[in-house]
Amino acid sequence: SAVISQKPSRDICQRGTSLTIQCQVDSQVTMMFWYRQQPGQSLTLIATANQGSEATYESGFVIDKFPISRPNLTFSTLTVSNMSPEDSSIYLCSVERVETQYFGPGTRLLVL
């Protein structure tokens, strides 16, 4: 399995501002993923972050809105930029080990 931590665990933000979410893993992983879970919905993949290369974004998600950094094999950040109330969600970091994805505790974001 994997031990994943995220910061912050929750935040309330004003529209138009940006929030950076951090994800830390207990040991090195090649692939890290960022998901969004909107209220009452399932998980949707935002992007895949591999160390040393640009993140790969899924349809409907763009780098300007969700810039991602992956400076090393145990850490990644996701920024939610120019937030609107529609960005209110839980944002989850995930890593893959032996073809299985494990998830962090999530960051609960409320945009007012």
Partner 1 sequence: AQSVSQHNHHVILSEAASLELGCNYSYGGTVNLFWYVQYPGQHLQLLLKYFSGDPLVKGIKGFEAEFIKSKFSFNLRKPSVQWSDTAEYFCAVILPRGNTPLVFGKGTRLSVIA
What does the binding site for partner 1 look like in residue numbers (CB under 8 A)? 1, 33, 41-45, 48, 58, 92, 94, 99-106
Closer CB to partner 1, 14 or 98, in the complex:
98
Which amino acid is present at 92? Answer: L
- How many angstroms separate the CA atoms of 69 and 78, rounded? 7
The nearest distance, CB 35 to partner 1, in angstroms, is: 9
Closer CB to partner 1, 12 or 84, in the complex:
12
DSSP calls for 27-52:
S--SEEEEEEE-TT--EEEEEEEETT
Closer CB to partner 1, 14 or 99, in the complex:
99
The nearest distance, CB 17 to partner 1, in angstroms, is: 25
- How many angstroms separate the CA atoms of 75 and 104, rounded? 12
Phi, psi of 81 (to 5 degrees): -100, 150
Closer CB to partner 1, 10 or 15, in the complex:
10
Pairing of strands 89-97, 68-72: unpaired
The nearest distance, CB 94 to partner 1, in angstroms, is: 8
